[in-house]
Amino acid sequence: MVGFLAVLLAACKPQPEPAAKAPVAPKKPEVVLVAPEVEGTPGKPELPPLFRDIEKRTFQFFWDTSNEVNGLTPDRYPSRPFASIASVGFALTAYPIGIENGWISRRQAVERTLITLKFFRDLPNGTAREGKGAYKGFYYHFLDMRTGERYGSWVELSSVDTALLMMGVLFAQSYYDRDDANEAEIRKLADLLYKRVDWPWLQQNKPLISMGWYPESGFIPHDWMGYNEAMMLYVLALGSPTHPVSPDAWEVWTRTYSESWGVYQGQEYLTFGPQFGHQYSHVWIDYRGIQDAYMRERGIDYFENSRRATYAQQAYAKENPMQWRGYGENIWGLTASDGPQQTLQEYRGEQRQFRHYSARGVGFRENFDDGTIAPTAAIASLPFAPEIVIPATKAMHKRYGEYLYSSYGFLDAFNPSFDYDIPLKNGRIVPGEGWVSGDYIGIDQGPILAMIANYRNDFVWDVMKKNPYIRKGLEQAGFTGGWLTPEGENPRAAPPDHDAADARATGAAESRAQQRTKSRNDNSDEKVPMRSADEPK
């Protein structure tokens, strides 16, 4: 399998040898958490009409391309014939957004949602290599669009993609709250699907959770470590009423942050190169004003962390150290996305590596940048930094919209620097403008739609705040403050917890040593999961 290995980034890298002494956390600046602004308050930039058009087109991607017979949503469109369970999670979230905006009726959305949940309830379950779609409550990353069965031997039973699916399932459970037989059935089905997931089964290296399982080779030896999109996975696993993991899973997971906190492009934050790691969990969970022990010690929250990551991405594009064409103050955004081809080509007098579908990102630990920009990296960061995202969105539409913006909004990615006359993995070369993807990708479309909705009126966040499983998962992880504060108590942020910081520093070397030992025992030709649609060569 070519090109996708980089998507694992820090989560899959062997950790370095432990130091002789436990690392000491650097002194952090005191940061005061302020109440977030709401729509209509001074200081919150107004969205131009372009964003309403983006929302409508992006919603139509999910409504038009999902299989109306079984509810499966394609990983990408118009190419690729398989579904992505993560895309289904975003689709289940998209339908209520369509209701609220008057694009579909509530009855239409209820019918489509019921079809989807019933199909997942009834998918063939078991350990056979073929003919099954699920096992232990987890689902295969990619499914046949018609049958829902595992698409191929290269497809894993995925923990994080099951988490993305379950976020959509629980969103549906909380949104459809009317005293109606069909809506009551949605709630019942959502409960059933979530309670089926046997999270401890994937804890082969307790208390961390593995990335997944293959019927041919067993458990993937890589656990979810380091800061990334797995925040939502651990919250879901902690909140389960039937198969929960113990609270120390969050504690140990946050210990693996130790090499991810630092200063990059003038921002001090918990880094992860591709922007999706700073977005996915935030699609459904409002992290403004709530803190776990790790963030209490640093005096910020995960929302502020994502804001800093967004500014770092823009600053990198302005600096443009690799001198790619087009980069600048309003043209930026690196994440997991399509790319032109896996190839080495000469650029500005030196050999440069280009990739097709791959993770792209920047930080002080991991970097890959081949000149490919993904609109979702900027647009789905709208709630974090609207003052820089709105100009970027307008600029991409104005400068590249003629060939980048189409029926379902922005195509997945573009690369103004790539104009080589070679066979392409995907997309086309626009003379004088470079490469443009030919596809829309569900896991990039979903955050665009949901985060615009969150920016407008906190819609997805407010619905999910009503879900008892999400609240329980956050509380089990040690989150307090903000909207989690019990009624009648002061929701102000707690002061930094330096004792907790010392405890994490002590445990950091232990975590690195454990991962180092495990890596030595890993099979060198092991299978690893893919973030999105790329068939193996």
What pLDDT was estimated at residue 43? Answer: 75
Q: How many whole angstroms separate alpha carbon 135 and alpha carbon 309? A: 36
Q: How many whole angstroms separate alpha carbon 524 and alpha carbon 527? A: 9
For range 413-441, the mean pLDDT: 97
Helix (H, G, I), strand (E, B) or coil at 138: strand
Instruction: Please give the mean pLDDT across all residues of the chain.
Output: 88
Residue 211 has a CB neighbour count (10 Å cut-off) of: 25
Judge whether residue 396 has pLDDT over 90. Answer: yes
Candidates 3.40.50.10090, 3.40.1050.10, 3.40.50.720, 1.50.10.140; CATH matching 49-485: 1.50.10.140
- 417 alpha-carbon distance from chain centroid: 27
Are 362 and 451 within 8 A, CB to CB? no
Judge whether residue 53 has pLDDT over 70. Answer: yes
Name residues whose C-beta falls within 8 Å of residue 469's C-beta, 6 or more positions apart in sequence. Answer: 170, 194, 236, 239, 240, 241
Judge whether residue 8 has pLDDT over 50. Answer: no
Judge whether residue 285 has pLDDT over 80. Answer: yes
What pLDDT was estimated at residue 217? Answer: 97
Judge whether residue 307 has pLDDT over 50. Answer: yes
What pLDDT was estimated at residue 507? Answer: 44
> What b/e readout covers 132-161, taking b as 16+ CB neighbours within 10 angstroms?
bbbbbbbbbbbbbbeebbbbeebbbbbbbb
Amino acid residing at 15? Q
Phi, psi (rounded to 5 degrees) for 223: -100, 165
Angle formed at CA 390 by CA 384 and CA 396, multiple of 5 degrees: 120
Q: What's the first-to-final CA gap in the chain, in angstroms? A: 6
Angle formed at CA 279 by CA 378 and CA 360, multiple of 5 degrees: 60
Which residues is 218 bridged to in the sheet? 214
What pLDDT was estimated at residue 181? Answer: 98
In angstroms, what CA-CA distances link 125 with 93, 140, 194? Answer: 25, 10, 15
- The helix or strand, by DSSP H or E, that contains position 337, with its residue range, turns out to be strand 336-337
Min mean pLDDT across 33-42, 47-56, 244-253, 318-327 is at 33-42
Min mean pLDDT across 315-324, 360-369, 437-446 is at 360-369
Q: How many whole angstroms separate alpha carbon 490 and alpha carbon 184? A: 35
For range 101-119, the mean pLDDT: 98
- Binned at pLDDT 50, 70 and 90, residue 259 comes out as confident
Judge whether residue 379 has pLDDT over 90. Answer: yes
Domain boundaries, the chain: 49-485
For range 197-226, the mean pLDDT: 97
Judge whether residue 376 has pLDDT over 50. Answer: yes
